[in-house]
Amino acid sequence: MRAIARDGEHELVINRSRFLCAVARVSDEESARGFIAERRRLHWNATHNCVAYVVGSGGAAQRSSDDGEPAGTAGVPMLEVLRHRDLTDTVAVVTRYFGGVKLGAGGLVRAYGRAVSEAIDAVGTVALVPLRIVHVSLDYVDGPRVEPELRAGPYTVLAVDYGAEVRIDVAVAEASVDELTAWVASRAAGRARVEPGEVTVVEVPE
């Protein structure tokens, strides 16, 4: 799955109608509804405020609304863009100010979908990658040497603690846990402890 890299807005003008798309990262349906309510408050005088959002692991919650546009011409194409981009934890609100020229059903579908697509292009996306956190414990002979090597390698170092011993938390793909364990053992001559921990989601820029 993916999410947008940041919140943002993008405006599109088609046949004198303004389509202002705002996208935001949200953590749940409640925060998505809160963002929608705020956009409707800001643009209370708009012709329509159409919405779509996808929230949760695997995009479990998906909702859309045409807000008075002909059924299926606004919210659904907006939601389809989010689905096609494999986005989750993302809400989109497209505010339309009617310009006096009717676009027809096909024109509306294209306009709303394009508004969301261009907004996502503008803010960028990140991949949401599930990784296993591995706790690497080293003594003070090996720790200062192994840490920079870990950082220079293909692993993601999340935290380092120089306490009674050197503890390094590393995020790694599940399939690479054994490989990391063997790599650490080879660098520390078997003196290190490697303990797999919980799974976390790491954002990787695209």
Task: List Cβ neighbours of 182 (8 Å cut-off, separation of 6 or more).
Answer: none
DSSP states of 35-51: HHHHHHHHTTTSSEEEE
CATH topology of domain 2-123: Ribosomal Protein S5; domain 2 (3.30.230)
The answer to whether 2-123 and 128-205 have equal CATH topology is no
Task: State if pTM tops 0.85.
Answer: no
What are the domain boundaries of the chain? Answer: 2-123, 128-205
Average pLDDT across each block of 10 residues of the chain; the chain has 206 residues. List them in order: 96 97 97 98 98 94 97 98 97 97 97 98 95 94 92 90 94 91 90 91 85
CATH code of 128-205, in short, is 3.30.70.240
Looking at residue 204, its pLDDT comes to: 82
Looking at residue 182, its pLDDT comes to: 93
In our burial notation (b when 16+ CB lie closer than 10 A, e otherwise), range 62-90 reads ebbbbbebeeebbbbbbbbbbeebebbbb
